[in-house]
Amino acid sequence: MRITDIEITPIAVQDPPLLNSEGVHQTHALRSIIKVTTSNGLVGWGETYGDDVMLHWLRAVAPRLDGVDVFDLNHIESIVDDELLTNADSITTDLPAGAGYPMANAASVKTRAAVFSAFEVPCLDLQGKSLGRPVSDLLGGRRRDRVEYSAYLFYKWAEHPQKPYPADSWGEVLTPEAMVEECRRMVSEYGFQSIKLKGGVLPPAQEIETVRALRAEFPDLPVRIDPNAAWTADVAIAVGQHLDGELEYLEDPVSGTRAMAEVARRVSMPLATNMCVTSFPDIPEAVREGAPQVILSDHHFWGGLRKSVELDQLCATFGLKLSMHSNTHLGISLAAMTHFGAVARSLAYSCDTHTPWQTENIIVPSEELTFKNGSVAVPTGPGLGVEVDEDAVAALHEQWRTCGVRTRDDVSPMRAVDPAWTGDVPRFFTL
C-alpha cells in the first residue's frame, strides 16, 4: 500500500481575540490539512500546524514519500530526519518559539517529530482503513469508550481591533464575574466536567480571584490554571500556596524544568507542562528533578500517535501522569487526539481542547465526535473515523489565501494596541 500522492493544503480559521502571556490570538489560526492517497485508492487524512515554516518542511518531505509504504513508519521518520537535518539552513526564521510552537529550529528533535507526526497520522488512518479498523486498535485497543475534555477558559477581548469579521458571541472577559459567565455557558453547551483557565494575563492576584470564583460557582469541577511561564518562581509559589487545595494541577507557571521543580517543592499540587518537557530528550531532567509530574502529551509534536503510546509507557515507568495539550485545532486533530486518549493508560486528567472557540469545521458532523457531558466518543469506524468535507477545506484554504496571516504570532497584534508590549516572560514579579 504505497503512497502515490500527498496534498498539503494550508487553511485559516477565524480565531477569537483570546489572551495569553504572549499577547493575543491573531484574527486567524493556521492549520495544514494533509491528504495522502495510496496505490489502492484509499485516502488518509492528517492535520497539523499551518505556518509557513511547517508548510516549507511538509512540502520538502512530501515528494520524498512517493512510493513509500504506509506501514513503513520508521522509514518515513528517517526520511524526515534526513530532510530536516540536511537542509536545516534552507529556511531562516526569527519566529517566536512560543507555547506549543515547535518550528523554531529545523534540526531539533521536536521540529522533526512534528513534521513526522504530520505524515504518521494519515498513514495510521490509511492502515486502519485498509484493515477496516479504528486507529485506536492499531495502538493496542481502547481502554475507554469516551475521552474526557476540559472547558478551556480564556480571558478575551470582545473583538479583534481591526474587526475583520463580526464579533464572536462570547463578549469581553476580563473579570472574575465575566469568566464565571463564560464557564457557565461552556459547561452548559458542552457538559465539561473540568475547567482549564488560561492565565498569565491579569495580575496574579486577580487570576487567583478568578479561580476562587470558578471554584465557588462550580464546586464539583476540578480547576487548573496555565499562565504559560508568565510568573517568577516566587509568584508561582505564592499563587500555589494561596490556591492550596483548589487546583488539580498548576501548569507551566515558570520556564524550565529546574524552575518548575523549585516551585513543585514548595506547593501541594502537581506541576504540569507542555513547555519544558516537550520531547523525549527533555524527560531525563524531569525524572532527575522529580518535576513536573504531569506531561501534557500532544501527538502533533511528540512524533505522532505511536510515539505517544511510547511516552505513555515511559510515564507509567517513572510514575508521571499524562494530560493532553491542544493548540487551536479542527476535527481531524480532535479525532486523532481522541484515539490516543482512548488507549493512554497514564491519562489521569481531562484533555485540553480548543473546540469551543472554533466556529468553522472541516469534517462531516458525526455523532462520535460531538461533545456530550464534556467527552467525545472514540470513533469506531475505519482509521481515524472522520469524513472530511473537501469543500469546507477549499473554502478555508481560500480564507488562508486572503487573510494575510502566515505564522503564529500572538505578540504583534498585542503590540499594535500596546507599543511597549514585548511578550517576554516572566511578566509578573509580584502578586
Q: In the complex with its own copies, which residue's Cβ is closer, 246 or 282? A: 282
Cα distances from 16 to residues 51, 148, 158, 223, in angstroms, run: 18, 24, 8, 22
DSSP 305-353: HHHHHHHHHHHHHHT-EEEE---S--HHHHHHHHHHHHH-SSB-SPBP-
Task: Name the pairing type of β-strands 28-38 and 43-49.
Answer: antiparallel
Choosing from 28, 299, 307, 325, the catalytic residue is 325
Closer CB to its own copies, residue 221 or residue 315?
315
CB of 259 to its own copies, least distance (A): 22
CB 14, min distance to its own copies, A: 38
Residue pointed to by grid coordinates 475534555: 149
Pick the closer one to its own copies by CB: 69 or 181.
69
Tell me whether residue 316 or residue 348 sits nearer to its own copies (CB atom). 316
- Cβ at position 302, least distance to its own copies in Å: 11
CA pair distance 223, 86, nearest whole angstrom: 44
**Within a 10 A sphere around the Cβ of 119, how many other Cβ atoms?**
28
Query: And the C-alpha cell for 227?
Result: 499562565
Binding site for its own copies (CB under 8 A): 69, 71-75, 78, 130-131, 133, 137-138, 140-143, 280-281, 283-284, 287, 306-307, 309-311, 313-314, 316-319, 343, 345
**Catalytic pick from 129, 198, 307, 329?**
198
Cβ 306 to its own copies, closest distance in Å? 6
- Give whichever of 74 and 92 is closer to its own copies, judged by the CB atom: 74
- Alpha-helix runs per DSSP H in 11-139: 52-61, 73-86, 109-131, 135-138
CB of 39 to its own copies, least distance (A): 14
Give the separation between CA 247 and CA 225, rounded to whole angstroms. 8
Is position 325 annotated as part of the catalytic site? Answer: yes
Are 276 and 282 contacting, i.e. CB atoms less than 8 angstroms apart?
yes
Q: Which residues are catalytic?
A: 198, 325
